[in-house]
Chains A and B, each alone.
Chain A
Amino acid sequence: EAQVTQNPRYLITVTGKKLTVTCSQNMNHEYMSWYRQDPGLGLRQIYYSMNVEVTDKGDVPEGYKVSRKEKRNFPLILESPSPNQTSLYFCASSLSSGGTAYEQYFGPGTRLTVT
């Protein structure tokens, strides 16, 4: 089954404790992206990747890191989480970033709470 998977689905952590949220897709998609969703703000893009080893900042990249060493994986790293990073996080992928291949497939989400 074609899908985007995220782990963990739920995470409660403390301020300053490094964490990684994994994202994996099995559709051989070139483009992957991370978003955070907060009430009243919709989804905001954190980072995106057009292909292996190619990443760039989205609208709200501060406090986050990403890497794209393999096509299928795009982990989101919070080196020193803070309470304002408490949010619902979504990973998404699409065939490519060009032309009309904009259909992004979203993962199920990771709910992160930082205390």
Chain B
Amino acid sequence: GQQLNQSPQSMFIQEGEDVSMNCTSSSIFNTWLWYKQDPGEGPVLLIALYKAGELTSNGRLTAQFGITRKDSFLNISASIPSDVGIYFCAGTNTGNQFYFGTGTSLTVIP
């Protein structure tokens, strides 16, 4: 299957710092999605991107759909303790089959 690689694998940051993570694929996608998973729970959709080059925000989160359609980026500004969790990217072309990244684990130190 298609492999989506996320980096970094884990991050330890101070509260208030900005965070950047990215996701790359060997194949192109026409939709990119970013999810957050809190400990012991299922993933929750944060942002959906539908067009190459698109930049979309959701509060302190901003995500971009890469021009090549093979990558996507997620930024979190002014991190807070509740940002702790695992962030996953996902790509789809059909809306039926979804390919998830390996995840970025975020720890925010108060």
Contacts and interface: CB of A to CB of B under 8 A. Distances in A.
A49 to B, nearest CB: 9
Contact of B42 (A42, A99, A107): A107
Nearest to B50: A100
Interface residues of B, number: 27
Given A33-B98, A42-B88, A102 B33 contact: yes
A104 B44 CA distance: 8
Contacts of A108: 40-42
A92 B103 contact: no
Given A42-B102, A102-B31, A56 B96 contact: yes
Contacts of A33: 98
B41 A109 contact: yes
B82 interface: no
A90 B43 contact: yes
B1 interface: yes
A102 B94 contact: no
A48 B96 contact: yes
B97 A45 contact: yes
B100 interface: yes
B31 A31 contact: no
A97 B94 contact: yes
B96 A31 contact: yes
B101 A42 contact: yes
A78 to B, nearest CB: 20
A99 B48 CA distance: 12
Interface string B59-96: 00000000000000000000000000000101010111
